[in-house]
Structure 1
């Protein structure tokens, strides 16, 4: 139990940092496309509650924020836990982080989103939006989680 609390706190901090970088990118990118932060978070919430998300105002915005950070914490927990079993994840954080970002992108876009209630977005999926989504998950989720996990684990072992 003594080790559980610091581990959970580490996962929490890494997940909050990665999630914040990822959503900041998303909000900035979408602002240039004329999509407000409210709509971004309502869109995230629509994965759970469908189209009614766009009629629930700030309640669905709050739900979107909660869902976003829950997902970031999930991916952080998966990587952190795996890094305790597979030391290569800590020894090679850049390549492993980037590859992890690819895995996250593929799972989110080809498993999670199709199974969710997110409305179809054919007009929103442009080449720039796809490139931004891939780069955001590679850099702000995969690489950030990997580098911060390595930092945390190497600090703890010193």
Structure 2
């Protein structure tokens, strides 16, 4: 990538796409727990609450937009902090793992409990581990790799 903004956009859209595809493939195709529309509506429910489940594809689209907005925010944040933390420059694998865990912590222990105060308590089980792995492999590693590539070239 030649510009900062293109790097952020690329890493944000790539990580957002990988993350939502992983969620859809795992939870709809493999585990048969939900539908793609319901996954996207549940993202939209962070803003629209219960109304998100009443307007079908329109709310699913809003959920997708919100999902990409969140991915772009995390891509932007990583891009901005990268030069100030030497540990991030050591290895994109290590930094991607750390950043994926950071994203999981922010989303699951801060954002979701604020947006949805009545969430059930977290238990260390397979679904929790799966959600962490998805964020490491689909968000942390792609953002770390693309950002490292940008900074090593500039």
Deviation at 1:56, TM superposition (A): 1.2
Deviation at 1:121, TM superposition (A): 6.3
SS in 2 for 1:147: helix
1:97 matched to which residue of 2?
96
How does the TM-score come out when normalised to structure 1? 0.86
2:22 matched to which residue of 1?
25
Deviation at 1:80, TM superposition (A): 0.5
How does the TM-score come out when normalised to structure 2? 0.88
Contact 1:19 1:68 in 2 (8 A): yes
Count of residues in Structure 1 that have an aligned counterpart in Structure 2: 150
Deviation at 1:37, TM superposition (A): 0.5
Contact 1:50 1:118 in 2 (8 A): no
Q: Distance in 1 between matches of 2:110 and 2:138?
A: 20
Q: Which runs of 5+ in 2 are unaligned?
A: none
Q: Which runs of 5+ in 1 are unaligned?
A: none
Deviation at 1:128, TM superposition (A): 2.9
- Note closer, same or farther for the CA distance 1:48–1:88 as it changes in structure 2 (3 Å cut): same
Do residues 86 (structure 1) and 112 (structure 2) align? no
1:1-158 equivalence runs, <5 A:
6-31=3-28, 32-117=31-116, 120=119, 127-155=125-153, 157=154
RMSD across aligned positions (CA):
2.1
